[in-house]
Structure 1
Amino acid sequence: MKVKTLKSKQGNLVSGPLILSPHVFEDDRGWFFESWNQIHFNEAVGEVVEFSQDNHSQSTQGILRGLHYQLSPQPQAKLVRSSFGEIFDVAVDLRRSSPTFGQWISARLSSENKFQLWIPEGFAHGFLTLSSVAEVQYKVRGFWNKTCEHVIRWNDPELDIAWPQNELNGSDISLSEKDQVSIEFHAAIKAGYLFA
């Protein structure tokens, strides 16, 4: 497995999120790779991670999910991959003590590149479906808890996330009802909906 760190739009290295690229064994019959190995994953992220649940979603082109996160007492970390199709995946640093607070990283995850994005606690997460259909699978540390859940507006001008809307072949961004009523980043700061 190869491990790559990520930089924000401002060019700063963001500590925490990692791109994990598996070793793929390929021949004329097809391919094989380990999508999960506890030992290799723990070595890559530098800690022992125990996941609580696996999630699997399907979205059509233009569906945008996010920016979601959970605060204490049930924060979540995620290991995200696209097992079918392609997504533009984003994580926003919400750790007040971080030098990259309010900055974001992105990665293209697809069934072709087989990349996985590790997003530790302290980040908001969202993705945009670029292909006609995408299936996203993610392992989660921490159970879903509605009372801990928060959503920041996907197109918040202060965050200025460069979503590749020009790749949607004329499709519009489509949001869930929950994501439509999300708050702006400055409102989350004012309300204290952040990590230490």
Structure 2
Amino acid sequence: MQLEKTAINDCFLITPKVFTDDRGYFMESFNTKAFQKATKLNVDFVQDNESFSAYGVIRGLHAQKGDYAQAKLVRVIKGEVLDVVIDFRKDSPTYLNQVIVKLNAEAKKQLFVPRGCLHGFSVLSKTAIFFYKCDNFYNQSAEIGYRYDDPFFKIDWQIPKSEQLISVKDAKLPLWNQ
């Protein structure tokens, strides 16, 4: 496993070792001991989530607050997404910094999103299967979020406005200045 630091403290781009031959490939997608040794972070994943989306879908920007904050390890099993993380931790030296990276099934790179960060993604391929591990259980009452098109964040989701598919819930999220 190779870790690359990003513009957000404790947010890492992870490239797993992939072993290929004529039969296909094998990779270890996560190893707690190796991750702790490389990052000095203690993470205990308790919930796995998977979503299937079509081209143009934008999901986000979401997080959970307080005791229900979640760290996530995200990856793409099929297709390609533009993954977006915003540091929302007021006490962080990288507060409001953004990490924007393309993740796809071929490269198999993963992104570790620390607790207290907003997260979202847009689907750049015809379809995508997005998978993420969480270190805390989902709690609807702890959900927070901001609009995907908030002018404060200036995110280019790489999807033309006319082709963006947004949930009713995400379209109703507040803007940063609200």
Q: TM-score, normalised by structure 2?
A: 0.94
Is 2:68 the counterpart of 1:68?
A: no
In 2, Cα distance between equivalents of 1:36 and 1:183: 35
The answer on whether the counterparts of 2:73 and 2:134 sit within 8 Å (CA) in structure 1 is: yes
Task: Give unmatched runs, 5+ long, in structure 2.
Answer: none
**2:174 maps to which of 172, 183, 186:** 183
Aligned-residue offset at 1:171: 6.4
Is 2:116 the counterpart of 1:115?
A: no
The answer on whether the counterparts of 2:15 and 2:109 sit within 8 Å (CA) in structure 1 is: yes
Aligned-residue offset at 1:177: 1.4
Aligned-residue offset at 1:28: 2.4
In 1, Cα distance between equivalents of 2:65 and 2:71: 11
Mean Cα deviation higher: 47-56 or 99-108:
99-108
Is 2:157 the counterpart of 1:163?
A: yes
Q: Which runs of 4+ in 1 moved over 3 A?
A: none
Which amino acid in the other structure matches residue 87 of structure 1? V
Is 2:14 the counterpart of 1:3?
A: no
Aligned-residue offset at 1:23: 0.8
* Counterpart residue number, 2:128: 134
The 5 A counterparts of 1:39-118 are 39-118=33-112
Aligned-residue offset at 1:73: 2.1
In 2, Cα distance between equivalents of 1:171 and 1:155: 13
In 2, Cα distance between equivalents of 1:179 and 1:44: 35
SS at 1:79 equivalent: strand
* Counterpart residue number, 2:26: 32
Aligned residues: 178
In 2, Cα distance between equivalents of 1:87 and 1:171: 18
- Structure-2 change in CA distance of 1:171 and 1:35 (3 Å): farther
SS at 1:178 equivalent: helix
- Structure-2 change in CA distance of 1:171 and 1:36 (3 Å): farther
SS at 1:73 equivalent: helix
Give the root-mean-square deviation of aligned CA atoms: 1.4
The answer on whether the counterparts of 1:70 and 1:150 sit within 8 Å (CA) in structure 2 is: yes
Aligned-residue offset at 1:100: 2.6
- Structure-2 change in CA distance of 1:100 and 1:38 (3 Å): closer
* Counterpart residue number, 2:141: 147
In 1, Cα distance between equivalents of 2:29 and 2:94: 30
Task: Give unmatched runs, 5+ long, in structure 1.
Answer: 8-13, 188-196
The answer on whether the counterparts of 2:9 and 2:93 sit within 8 Å (CA) in structure 1 is: no
Q: TM-score, normalised by structure 1?
A: 0.86
